[in-house]
Amino acid sequence: MTSYIDVKNLSKNFEAINAVKEISLQVEQGEVLGFLGPNGAGKSTTMKMITGYLTPSSGAISIAGINILQDPISAQRHIGYLPEGAPAYGEMTTYKYLDFIASIRRIPRKDKKDRINNIIDRINLNSVANRKIEDLSKGYKRRVGLAQAIIHDPNILIMDEPTDGLDPNQKHEIRSLIREMAPKKAIIISTHILEEVDAVCTSTAIIDMGQIIFTGTPRQLAALSRYHDALNIVVKIEDAEKTKKIIGEQSDDSKVEEIYSGNEIRITAPLKNRKPCSDVIQAALSREKIVPREYFFEKGRLDQVFRDLTSSAQDSIKETP
């Protein structure tokens, strides 16, 4: 079976800049790939090549088994694309804009109205259907972009920072929508927001300076954190010294993190060995009559892994096996 999206050794050079270097990716039906990376990493450039907007300098892209370089139009029929910043024809109303897209996408005249109204309902665009897109708020503009991308119910959905700059409610709604569509499609989203990866993605690829430096599930990504499975404990400030001493014996000192807030301290410490060490700590705490306000094990911190992986890519790759 061919993958919905199959990218091999993709590279793109802009004059002197090698924006993308030898990237390979596969996305199957039901998969939501979170494309992560710092600014200028090459996420948008990769997406632009996958959707046929930019011609790669080298490499191959297959969309539902079709080589997009040889037959762009057939490949593009399978794709819905939300470019970065959701560009749209501002002088058009939402309805007319969707109507234009539907015509270009050859949605038959008799189905067109239903299809547009359907999508307007689904994405909650009713209140702005007859307003000019340039007058809409950022959130609505983004939704119009999303509506445009899914109006033909594509197998493949590529979204460049779909929730960038939206308020938490809107973010939540768009994520729900993506999750809802996910089972039938192959989806790539790019994002800077790590919680988004947790919230919607089934797999992630981290790209830095044009190269993929990590691929795996969000869980595997979290596991790279040095705080993965770290003990997280909050105690009163009076107990801080004793607690630190108890934990220090079960942990590697250099990695213990302390955060003071008010009259409490939060200590985060990766333990040498989770279960036995935890038992020892709990026994010691109760001996000292210290009752922690919180006591749990972290899953790992995506933002910290992200920073470690991308700040100096070369070094941290060696560090993490």
Partner 1 sequence: MNQTIAVFKRELEAYFITPVAYVFIVIFLILNGLCTFYLGDFYERGQADLEPFFELHPWLYMLLIPAVSMRLWSEERRSGTIELLLTLPMSTTSAVIGKFLAAWAFCSVALMGTIPIWLSVNYLGEPDNTVIAAGYIGSLLMAGGFLSVGACISATTNNQVVAFTISFVVCFAFNLSGFPVVLDLFSSWTPQAVLEVISSFSFLSHFESIKKGVIDIRDIIFFGSLMTFWLYLNVVVVELKKGK
Ligand X SMILES: Nc1ncnc2c1ncn2[C@@H]1O[C@H](COP(=O)(O)OP(=O)(O)OP(=O)(O)O)[C@@H](O)[C@H]1O
Binding interface with Mg ion (CB under 5 A): 43-44, 84
Among 41, 79, 157, 199, contact with ligand X (rule: CB under 6 A): 41
CA distances from 136 to 80, 143, 248, 312 (A): 22, 10, 55, 40
Determine if 297 is a binding residue for partner 1 (CB under 8 A): no
Closest to 79 in 3D by CA, of 61, 55, 99, 100: 61
Cβ atoms of residues 269 and 228 within 8 Å: no
List 260's β-bridge partners, or say none: 265
Window of 29-37, 77-85, 296-304, 308-316 that interacts with partner 1 by CB under 8 A: 77-85
Least CB distance to Mg ion at residue 84 (A): 5
Q: What are phi and psi of 208, to 5 degrees?
A: -145, 135
Would you give the distance in Å from CA 187 to the centre of its chain? 11
For partner 1, the binding residue among 22, 26, 53, 67 (CB under 8 A) is 53
Task: Choose the one of partner 1, ligand X, Mg ion, none that binds residue 59, judging by a C-beta under 5 to 8 angstroms depending on kind.
Answer: none
Nearest to partner 1 of 103, 220 (CB atom): 103
- For residue 212, give the amino acid letter: I
Give min distance, CB of 128 to partner 1, in A: 17
Distance CA 95, CA 241 (A): 64
Counting runs of H as helices and runs of E as strands, what totals does the chain give?
Answer: 12, 14
Which part of the chain contacts partner 1 (CB under 8 A), choosing from 99-107, 203-211, 240-248, 300-308? 99-107
List residues binding ligand X (CB under 6 A). 14, 17, 19, 37, 39-45, 84
> Under the rule (CB under 8 A), what is the footprint of partner 1?
14, 48, 51-55, 72-74, 76-77, 79, 81, 83-85, 87-92, 96, 100-101, 103-106, 148
